[in-house]
Amino acid sequence: MTTTTMTKEELKKKVCQAIENRKADINALAETIWSEPELGYKETKTAQKVIDTFTQLGVPFKDKLALTGVKGRLKGGKGSQYSIAVIGELDAIICPDHPDASDLSGAAHCCGHNAQIANMMAVTMGLIDSGAMAYLSGDVVPFAVPAEEYVEIAYRSRLIEEKKIKYIGGKPELISRGEFDDIDMALQIHLTSVPNDRKNGFIELSTTSNGFIGKMIKYKGQSSHAAAAPHMGINALNAAMMGLMGVNAIRDTFQEKDYIRFHPIITQGGDLVNVVPSDVRMESYVRASNVPAMVDANERINRALKAGAMSVGATCEIKDLPGYLPLNNDPTLNKLMGENAQHLVGDENVWVGPHLTGSTDTGDLSHIMPVSHPWIGSIRGQLHGKDYTVFDKDMAYIRPAQMMACTIIDLLYDDAKEAKELLSNYKPLMNKEEYLAFLATFDK
Ligand SMILES: [Zn+2]
Ligand SMILES: [Zn+2]
């Protein structure tokens, strides 16, 4: 197909330059998405921006996947034996105190997912403008995905009842619908905070993170006059307090290696001060670094919560929901991403990070295929915080795209030798059937 020959390094250089040349378009895309934040499964305007850009670039795509997802495909000039996804999440978070939050919904992009879409599209532009696809033995799939943040659980539960979705999170939903069946591995970045005393941004390769099970907890008691007849009532708030104390009594049985986290909130604690509380609700996650520990801690926490109800004669209903699986980044993909990152931003600004106790639904994907999901230090303030601002635009929007594009070239150049080797040595933590079977355990 191509007549000129180009070495892998020349090709990488050309793609990086093509991304640099598109800087104005890429920054504009990041900023227009920033200016119209939308919450998960409602990202219609953001999806339209992705569709418009694919259309301008002549990239074929499928849309409305899991309501709002958009999936493009760039064909490899030397065959399509492998497909590498570049993932961008569409959704914002609720942060009404942020100066740029939407007045209507309180949504703001304080998790920086707008940068993920900008990076995904920058990779697409770079590969197209440079003509690099002609040299590659595999496809590239820029995939804009909905609903990474595990929020608005009541709204999404309604979508589940209406059979519009099956899962709270976008990636479990897309996996269950088969939208990752034609993808072999995935790259994605996430922005993170840079401490105030550090001048430069950085790229931290991510190793592992916690997963979690979502929980909705309801204590039912008996209302009565709180002063005149407390003996006629059953105090559901006391049941909930006893339940929480029960969990605290088993915390020292959780092992450090499993990074268990249980951090409940009471969302309804009673109705009137002179009525014995009869309906008390809590929400929580049970987080851990691995699935067996997550399931085990969840069972023991449920037992303790129920014991609280028993102590005062109340009842306790617990609804466990599939949350996210722990993130397991692939070491080979990480190595390639790291080497390319060092070329782009200098060795001193690239390192491998520790286990993190937060969670992402990319964890689910990382159980069934090789994934690399590094953290890009490019913001001041806190993730999800009202002080969140991007302070290094090149580090947020341009360098990660160059890093991912160069990694794709490493994988798919030279008859996709690297991709072939990686996949032949790869053993997934679960295959798709095992993964879906795990999700189905929550249906009971
Ligand atoms: Zn977030
Ligand atoms: Zn995020």
Q: pLDDT by residue (tens digit) across 66-91? A: 999 999 999 999 999 999 999 999 99
From the CA of 112, which ligand is nearest? 2
How far does the centroid of ligand 2 lie from the alpha carbon of residue 351, in Å? 20
From the CA of 385, which ligand is nearest? 1
pLDDT score of 444? 75
Backbone φ and ψ for 50, nearest 5 degrees, come out as -65, -45
How far does the centroid of ligand 1 lie from the alpha carbon of residue 307, in Å? 33
Q: Which residues pair with 217 in a beta bridge?
A: 282, 318
How far does the centroid of ligand 1 lie from the alpha carbon of residue 277, in Å? 34
How far does the centroid of ligand 2 lie from the alpha carbon of residue 324, in Å? 13
Question: Do you know the residue count of the chain?
Answer: 444
3 pLDDT more than 80: no
How far does the centroid of ligand 1 lie from the alpha carbon of residue 151, in Å? 10
Residue type, 430: M
Give the confidence band of 154 by pLDDT, cuts at 50, 70, 90: confident
From the CA of 373, which ligand is nearest? 2
Q: What pTM does this model have?
A: 0.94
Dihedral sign, CA of 111, 117, 120, 122?
negative
How far does the centroid of ligand 2 lie from the alpha carbon of residue 223, in Å? 42
Residues above pLDDT 70, as percent of the chain: 99
5 pLDDT more than 90: no
What is the rounded distance in angstroms from the CA atom of residue 198 to the CA atom of residue 356? 21
Give the confidence band of 1 by pLDDT, cuts at 50, 70, 90: low
Q: Is 283 helix (H, G, I), strand (E, B) or coil?
A: strand
From the CA of 89, which ligand is nearest? 2
Contact 325, 366 (CB under 8 A): yes
pLDDT score of 443? 87
pLDDT score of 96? 95
146 pLDDT more than 60: yes
How far does the centroid of ligand 2 lie from the alpha carbon of residue 359, in Å? 9
Which structure tokens are listed for 24? 């104005």
